A and B are shown apart, each in its own frame.
Chain A
Amino acid sequence: MLRYANPTRFLQLSSALVPWLGAASAALFAIGLYLGFRVPPDYQQGETVRVMFIHVPAAWTAMMGYGLMAAASLVGLVWRHPLADTAARAAAPLGALFTALGLVTGSLWGRPMWGAWWVWDGRLTSFLLLEFLYLGYIALWNAIEDETRAARVCAILALVGAVNLPIIEFSVDWWTTLHQGESILRKGGPLISSVYLWPLFTMALAYTFLFFTLWLLRIETEILRRRARNALLAEGP
């Protein structure tokens, strides 16, 4: 693992991995979507059950993204390694994107199911807060000019957010049970039948691979950008 902390070795590894990861992701998307359209409509949700296959994996990936970002931030803060800083920075817009995708698809599913585009449901609300955390992180990074300092400062924010996220999650759940006793959500709804599990897991894998493909690509681009800048600076005007 440590071997690949060297940017050059990392570039070698990642440029070898990216095509395979991308291809695997595309193949899994094809299979997952095919399976997703093949399953019979749900007896309660009808055709809209298919939204689940693009919605739930997006939400999972968004949370995984924050976890990876926080882990990379911790590594960057403790070992002061620029590659970890770059990895944390590269994960943030992806996380924000997958969170937004989760919110939008959730909203599209909620309209026919709950009769409203937006419901102040616990999960929706905590996901909206997660999106704000991502946006705050990106805004903070963009506002600080010195890149090393920006990395460290943003790492602290990511870690504070990581500590606070479970509390936010808990408080929002607590708040939902407080305000929405007559929730539109069915309590103890039908357990997911295995018919739906296969496409769901395939799609989850596809999303995960997509995330890693894009993440590695973004890290590569950032390393190359820094090299180009340094080369330009070394050359002089």
Chain B
Amino acid sequence: MSAILFRDVRLAARAGGSAMLALAFFAAVATLVPLGVGADLRLLAKIAPGVLWVAAVLAALLALDRLFQADFEDGSLDVVALAPPSLEATAFAKIAAHWLTTGLPLTLLSPLLAVMFGLETSGALFVSLLIGTPAVSAIGAIGAGLTLSIRRGGLILPLIVLPLLAPAVIFGAGAAQEVAGALPLLAAFSLVACVLSPFATAAAVRLNLGS
């Protein structure tokens, strides 16, 4: 399990991996927003939590279709599925690796973007992303498992996953604005997603492997 985790993290961190791409995408989307709505810092500070949350979700989705795809194509997923650790455990490791290479870097970058958006305190945004992005990885993994055998699965994946992620964005952006009660709800959603998702993901992967 840890072998899969470290392998996936290493693959994503190397040149051409998904970690840097997701970060760059996050920053690029965040840069386009002021160009679209104007440079008024008061307005930007007001919309920053929501915009950064949406950008973070989109950036995390970017790397999702590769979660199982590469292993599926070269056949190593078949071997992994046959190996002793259950597919559920493998799915959990994959989710953890995805979070470590997208959710966590995005969270670490967020204070910088918060400053650029004129937010005075970025602590709440940081904490909300830290707690909420695992839910994005977990629910996204279900979508990745479902679309595994589709050649252009990356196109359908967002349509499937984004509606399911509505609660994460709502509670996440709420927690980033320090609305009372948002943070516990976000944490609850994130925990439930991380616990239940490996089972759904593994079931989907198993079906697509044809066993």
The interface of chain A, by Cβ under 8 A from chain B, is 129-130, 132-133, 135-136, 139-140, 143-144, 146, 149, 152-153, 156-157, 159-161, 163-164, 167-168, 170-172, 174-175, 178
Contact, CB under 8 Å: B163 / A129:
yes
Which of A132, A170, A178 contacts B159, CB < 8 Å?
Answer: A132
Contact, CB under 8 Å: B156 / A139:
yes
Contact, CB under 8 Å: B204 / A156:
yes
The distance from the CB of B139 to the nearest CB of chain A, in whole angstroms, is 8
Query: Inside 8 A of B170's CB, which chain A residues have their CB?
Result: 171-172, 174-175
The answer to whether the Cβ of B25 comes within 8 Å of any Cβ in the partner chain is no
What are the 6 tightest A-B residue pairs by CB atom distance, in nearest-first order? A171-B167, A136-B160, A132-B163, A171-B170, A136-B159, A175-B170
Given contacts A171-B171, A174-B170, contact A139 B203 (CB under 8 A): no
> Among B156, B179, B200, B207, which residue has the most Cβ atoms of chain A within 10 A?
B207
Q: How many contacting A-B pairs (Cβ < 8 A)?
A: 79
The distance from the CB of B127 to the nearest CB of chain A, in whole angstroms, is 18
- 12 new A-B contacts, CB < 8 A, other than A168-B167, A178-B174, are A135-B159, A136-B156, A156-B146, A156-B200, A156-B203, A156-B207, A157-B142, A157-B160, A159-B200, A167-B167, A167-B189, A174-B170
The distance from the CB of A141 to the nearest CB of chain B, in whole angstroms, is 10
Contact, CB under 8 Å: B185 / A157:
no
Query: Inside 8 A of A174's CB, which chain B residues have their CB?
Result: 170-171, 174, 185
Contact, CB under 8 Å: A140 / B160:
yes
The distance from the CB of A147 to the nearest CB of chain B, in whole angstroms, is 13
Measured in the bound complex, the distance between the Cα atoms of B171 and A129 in whole Å is 16
Measured in the bound complex, the distance between the Cα atoms of B149 and A160 in whole Å is 19
The distance from the CB of B122 to the nearest CB of chain A, in whole angstroms, is 21
Contact, CB under 8 Å: B146 / A133:
no
Query: Inside 8 A of B196's CB, which chain A residues have their CB?
Result: 163
Q: Pull 17 A–B residue pairs with CB atoms less than 8 Å apart, ordered by A.
A: A132-B163, A135-B159, A139-B159, A140-B147, A140-B150, A140-B156, A140-B160, A143-B150, A144-B150, A156-B200, A159-B200, A160-B164, A161-B164, A167-B189, A170-B167, A171-B171, A174-B171
